[in-house]
Amino acid sequence: MHKNHLIFALVLFTALLSCKKEDNEVDFHHEYFPLDEGTFAEYTVTRIYHDDASDIHDTTVYTLKTVIGDTVIDNEGRVARKMERYVFNTLLQEYKIQDVWMAIIDQERAELVEENQRKIKLVFAPSLTKEWDMNAFNSYDPVILYYKNIHKPFTAGSLDFEKTVTVEEDSTKNLIQYKRKFEVYAEGVGLVRKHYQDFSINNFNETLPVKGEEIFYTIINYGKE
């Protein structure tokens, strides 16, 4: 083979190998669960407790801030990140620490340790075919989650996000129960919306809860400190 032809063949073969390698690389989209130190988000949180028999329908509204903190070794020996959670004190006009959770990305899972209970919040890469048990690593009953609206735009309050994924839990509506739960995560931001409704009803009417709870998170600010 002519020397020039040999060099050309080698270059072409190397390029093909490189392209094949790039094609096989998976983009897990870990950016939906950012863990860079200093990453923060602020939310308006609305909690509504219903107990119609006691004529109680209490609504509490407050501002919550989450901040990704230092690294820490979890009980599995893995390097995780602290997630510091603050509640805004309206009397003192400042944030006060509420608790500290732990967050970790373990290859194809995004986990959050809430009150010593490890939950799988996301699995990577997002796909409409994926389902998982959020409580696979804790003592709670299984809760199956799945994706909807992958890489789609979403508006949370007054903020628009170009790429988001929605994590759904199966809804329930029957004669005596109503349940609707989902979370939305934005690229580079994390959680931007949480929708939680789980209560008893009468005669299929979810507009008049009998007993149960509603929790809504809506992001109002985010960035990096």
Mean residue pLDDT of the chain comes to 91
pTM for this entry: 0.87
pLDDT value at residue 6: 45
Confidence of residue 74 (pLDDT cuts 50, 70, 90): confident
pLDDT value at residue 26: 79
CA distance 153 to 150: 9
pLDDT value at residue 3: 46
CA distance 165 to 202: 33
User: Which DSSP symbol is given to 126?
Assistant: -
Residue 44 pLDDT exceeds 50: yes
pLDDT value at residue 107: 86
CA distance 207 to 178: 10
CATH 2.40.360 fits 30-224, yes or no: yes
User: Which DSSP symbol is given to 141?
Assistant: P
pLDDT value at residue 224: 96
pLDDT value at residue 19: 46
Of residues 74 and 209, more confidently modeled: 209
Residue 40 pLDDT exceeds 90: yes
Residue 13 pLDDT exceeds 80: no
Residue 56 pLDDT exceeds 60: yes
What's the pLDDT tens digit per position in 145-200? Answer: 999 999 999 999 999 999 999 999 999 999 999 999 999 999 999 999 999 999 99
pLDDT value at residue 24: 55
pLDDT value at residue 103: 98
Residue 143 pLDDT exceeds 60: yes
Cis omega (within 30 of 0) on the bond before 125? yes
Q: Which residues are paired to 221 by β-bridges? A: 42
